[in-house]
């Protein structure tokens, strides 16, 4: 219970439904634990005891009316308790998922890249759902069942004082504490297995997500059977864990019922020995039953608390992850930056003792078209990602116009930077909405002009369906070709018109004609801007005014193409290999 206490704050926003649920839970417990045994003790005997003469039929009907009235009150209170609990539950689920999603938006990319997307999905959907179920079950049965137990126990104690014989009957309540032992035993077993089951559910979700993202590769390499087998293995492991939990959880109710039967049998023996009247005996038996039923429900609640705790452990991996890249306490306010970028003895590592950049120092004046070249893994992309502060430097500093990027608001910094990646991502929305991400509030005319600059306007207006800019592109832009997605991403950069531009081989997905046109458009786009081109093809850097050659996390040479080809063996070998001149 203490483990979940910090999350009781979610109840504050649903006070009304929670209070209503608790009220009806108390009413349900009272009618179940006290009213039903009282019917047998005080309502039925006057009807069947004819020693004083038969009662008038009207009186009998009036007495009998108490039966449906009691059950009606019990049914209505139980229904309203469940309804308000469910209402509070769905609102709590919304709040938990929103907090989880909001945290994902501010965590550094290094954390997100260390987890599979399927696992993060499972934590945000399945685990939050389990936590919501646990919290609402706690709010429901955590009040209703103990109230029913207290009501039934109160009736028994009342009868003990009212009738001497019943005192001996109460001795048989010694069986009640015995029911706690299976509850504790099963709870320990469930706790050990719940965390494993939640992790395996994440594996299944991860298989789903990975397979859907790689649908083309699966078919191209004939991996259908392999993928099905992998998924079947993951499902089998999940089922095994689920059945281990079920094995213990489902044994709880029979165990409590057997102990309850022992207690009732002992009650029968004592009742006979003490000469207890039938109606008293039956009412006591019913009250005992009303004691055991809540204990079974509390046992189930205990199991769910264990599963909720396991789910919480997985959610807290995200919720408690420190936000290492955030706005400074006293940020420097800036408007539009010029774009003078300086790396001052910068080092960076994704993992401890595995540096990706080592003591990098370089100055890139505003308006420079700077190409980053080097072997795969040399640190080119990491270098560019430090400018918009996607990652935090381990040592040194990165400055823009003399301001350390860590001293700026993230929104101010990134508003001055446009990024076009090699594999651009479009959201499942209209082309217009995807383009307006470049600059919120841009007019339709501005959007269309940016599309023309990127040579995207003509294909947009000719798209099948005739919707043009109102065409929905599908998940990750799946309804468009690679070249079309790339041109929309470029149009977004045109619209943003930021002073700093990062191009991760932005023309790689275009055909020859489109690439030539885009290269011409880029000449217009880069005027007056600081541009970083992560070059995979040397044809894209012919107009670069500055080339940085990376090798093993260091900048080993700087210059233009002619200077580097003449003076740097690494640059010359990379260039010749790509041009087919290395022989």
Residue 428: partners with Cβ closer than 8 Å, 6 or more residues away: 472, 473, 474, 475, 476
Per-residue pLDDT, 207: 75
Per-residue pLDDT, 582: 44
Instruction: Tell which phi-psi region holds residue 220, choosing left (phi > 0), alpha (psi between -120 and 50) or beta.
Output: alpha
Per-residue pLDDT, 499: 93
pLDDT in tens, the chain (583 residues): 566 677 777 777 888 888 888 888 778 776 765 666 666 666 666 666 666 666 677 776 777 777 777 778 878 888 888 788 878 877 887 888 888 888 888 888 888 888 878 788 888 888 888 887 787 777 667 766 776 677 666 766 666 666 655 555 555 555 556 666 666 666 666 666 776 776 777 777 777 777 776 776 677 667 778 888 888 888 788 788 777 777 766 666 677 667 666 766 776 676 666 666 766 666 666 666 666 667 767 767 777 777 778 788 888 888 888 888 889 999 999 999 999 999 999 999 988 778 899 999 999 999 999 999 988 888 999 999 999 999 999 999 999 999 999 999 999 999 999 998 877 888 888 999 989 988 888 899 999 999 988 888 988 998 888 889 999 988 878 788 877 888 888 889 889 889 999 988 766 555 566 666 667 667 777 778 899 998 777 777 767 889 999 999 999 999 988 889 889 999 889 888 877 654 4
* Domain 2-319 falls under CATH 1.20.1560.10: yes
Cα separations in angstroms, 216 against 166, 213, 447, 486: 76, 8, 32, 19
Give residue 541's Cα distance to chain centre: 42
Number of Cα atoms under 13 Å in the Cβ half of residue 177: 4
Q: What is the pTM of this model?
A: 0.70
> Quick check: 237 and 199 in contact, CB under 8 A?
no
Query: SS3 breakdown of the chain: % helix, strand, coil, rounded to 5?
Result: 65, 10, 20
**94 class by beta-carbon count within 10 Å (0-12 exposed, 13-18 middle, 19+ buried):** middle
Tokens of 88: 């509070």
Radius of gyration of the chain (CA): 36
Instruction: Say if 331-416+498-507+521-583 and 423-497 have the same CATH topology.
Output: yes
3-state secondary structure of 33: helix
Per-residue pLDDT, 583: 42
| Dihedral over Cα of 398, 402, 404, 405: its sign | negative
CA distance 461 to 465: 10
CA distance 431 to 433: 5
Number of Cα atoms under 13 Å in the Cβ half of residue 530: 20
**289 class by beta-carbon count within 10 Å (0-12 exposed, 13-18 middle, 19+ buried):** middle
Phi and psi at 352, nearest 5°, equal -55, 140
Q: Give the residue extent of every domain in the chain.
A: 2-319, 331-416+498-507+521-583, 423-497
* Domain 331-416+498-507+521-583 falls under CATH 3.40.630.30: no
* Domain 423-497 falls under CATH 3.40.50.300: yes
């Amino acid at each position: 219970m203490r483990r979940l206490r910090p999350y009781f704050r979610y109840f504050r926003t649903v006070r009304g439904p929670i209070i209503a649920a608790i009220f009806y839970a108390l009413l349900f417990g009272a009618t179940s634990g006290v009213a039903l045994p009282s019917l047998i003790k005080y309502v039925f005997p006057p009807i069947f005891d004819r020693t004083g003469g038969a009662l008038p039929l009207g009186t009998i009907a009036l007495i009998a009316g108490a039966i449906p009235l009691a059950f009606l009150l019990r049914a209505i209170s139980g229904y309203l308790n469940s309804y308000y609990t469910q209402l509070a539950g769905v609102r709590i689920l919304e709040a938990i998922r929103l907090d989880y999603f909001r945290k994902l938006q501010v965590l550094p990319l290094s954390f997100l890249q260390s987890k599979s997307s399927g696992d993060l999905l499972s934590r945000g959907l399945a685990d939050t759902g389990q936590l919501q179920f646990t919290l609402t079950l706690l709010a429901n049965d955590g009040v209703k069942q103990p109230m029913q137990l207290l009501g039934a126990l109160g009736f028994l104690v009342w009868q003990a004082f009212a009738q001497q014989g019943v005192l001996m009957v109460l001795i048989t309540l010694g069986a009640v504490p015995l029911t706690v032992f299976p509850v504790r035993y099963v709870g320990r077993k469930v706790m050990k297995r719940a965390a494993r089951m939640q992790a395996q559910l994440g594996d299944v979700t991860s298989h789903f997500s990975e397979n859907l993202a790689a649908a083309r590769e699966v078919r191209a390499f004939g991996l259908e059977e392999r993928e099905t087998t992998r998924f079947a293995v993951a499902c089998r492991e999940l089922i095994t864990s689920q059945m281990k939990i079920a094995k213990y959880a489902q044994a709880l109710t029979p165990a409590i019922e057997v102990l309850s039967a022992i207690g009732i049998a002992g009650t029968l023996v004592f009742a006979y020995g003490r000469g207890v009247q039938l109606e008293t005996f039956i009412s006591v038996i019913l009250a005992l039953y009303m004691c055991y039923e809540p204990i079974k429900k509390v046992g189930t609640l205990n199991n769910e608390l264990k599963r909720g705790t396991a789910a919480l452990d997985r959610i807290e991996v995200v919720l408690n992850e420190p936000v290492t890249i955030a706005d400074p306490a006293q940020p420097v306010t800036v408007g539009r930056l010029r774009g003078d970028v300086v790396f001052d003895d910068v080092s960076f590592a994704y993992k401890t003792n595995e540096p990706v950049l080592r003591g990098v120092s370089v100055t890139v004046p505003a308006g420079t078209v700077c190409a980053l070249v080097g072997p795969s893994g040399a640190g080119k992309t990491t270098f560019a990602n430090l400018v918009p502060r996607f990652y935090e430097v381990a040592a040194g500093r990165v400055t823009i116009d003399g301001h350390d990027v860590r001293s700026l608001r993230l929104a101010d910094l990134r508003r001055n930077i446009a990024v076009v990646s090699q594999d651009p991502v479009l959201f499942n929305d209209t082309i217009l909405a995807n383009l307006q991400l470049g600059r919120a509030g841009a007019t339709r005319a501005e959007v269309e002009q940016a599309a023309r600059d990127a040579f995207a306007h003509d294909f947009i207006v000719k798209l099948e369906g005739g919707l043009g800019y109102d065409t929905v592109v599908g998940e990750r832009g799946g309804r468009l070709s690679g070249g079309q997605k790339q041109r929309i991403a470029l149009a977004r950069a045109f619209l943003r018109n930021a002073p700093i531009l990062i191009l991760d081989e932005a023309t790689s997905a275009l055909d020859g004609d489109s690439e030539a046109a885009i290269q011409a458009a880029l000449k217009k786009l880069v005027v007056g801007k600081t541009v970083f081109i992560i070059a995979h093809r040397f044809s894209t850097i012919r107009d670069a005014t500055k080339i940085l050659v990376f090798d093993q996390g260091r900048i080993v040479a700087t210059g233009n193409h002619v200077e580097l080809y003449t003076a740097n063996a690494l640059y010359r070998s990379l260039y010749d290999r790509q041009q087919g001149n290395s022989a």
